[in-house]
């Protein structure tokens, strides 16, 4: 089936540094998402993105977070500066249309903030 790729698979950084997580969504998909999963806990929605704009963000999407997809390249999640509580696995997803349809997930990026 359609695949979403995420780069890198693991990232270890020091608190206060900037990190960019990259997502290569399914080629003809129009909606993009980031979710956060802390080990052993449920997946939580961070943000969705359509037509170059953030459509909705959760309270987990702090001011230090930003997303973009310049010129149809990677869909990125940037955290600047990082905090210890940002340690988690971040999953990117994409869908062809909006709500009510399947979201395809990437394998995740495990972020460790020291």
Partner 1 sequence: SQWGEENLQALSIQEGEDVTMNCSYKTYTTVVHWYRQDSGRGPALIILIRSNEREKRSGRLRATLDTSSQSSSLSITAAQCEDTAVYFCATDAGGSNAKLTFGKGTKLSVKS
Q: Give the binding site for partner 1 (CB under 8 A).
A: 4, 31, 33, 35, 40-45, 48, 50, 55-56, 58, 91, 93, 95, 98-108
What are residue 26's phi and psi, to 5 degrees?
A: -60, 135
**CA distances to 2, 21, 71, 99 from 43, in Å:** 21, 17, 29, 17
| Closer of 58 and 81 to partner 1 (Cβ) | 58
Q: How far is the CB of 14 from partner 1 (least distance, A)?
A: 25
Dihedral in degrees, nearest 10, Cα atoms 26, 29, 34, 35:
-80
Q: How far is the CB of 53 from partner 1 (least distance, A)?
A: 11
| Closer of 79 and 108 to partner 1 (Cβ) | 108
Q: How far is the CB of 25 from partner 1 (least distance, A)?
A: 12
**Residues 6 or more apart whose Cβ sits within 8 Å of residue 94:** 4, 23, 25, 26, 29, 31, 32, 33, 75, 103, 104
| Closer of 60 and 81 to partner 1 (Cβ) | 60
Q: How far is the CB of 81 from partner 1 (least distance, A)?
A: 26
């Amino acid at each position: 089936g359609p695949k979403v790729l995420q780069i890198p698979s693991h990232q270890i950084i020091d608190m206060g540094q900037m990190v960019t997580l990259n997502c290569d969504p399914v080629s003809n998909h129009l909606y993009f998402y980031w979710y956060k999963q802390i080990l052993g806990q449920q997946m939580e929605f961070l943000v969705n993105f359509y037509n170059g704009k953030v459509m909705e963000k959760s309270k987990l999407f702090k001011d230090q977070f930003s997303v973009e997809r310049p010129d149809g390249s990677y869909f990125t999640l940037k955290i600047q500066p990082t905090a210890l509580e940002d340690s988690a696995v971040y999953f990117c997803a994409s869908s062809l249309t909006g709500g009510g349809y399947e979201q395809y997930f990437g394998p995740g990026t495990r972020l460790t903030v020291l």
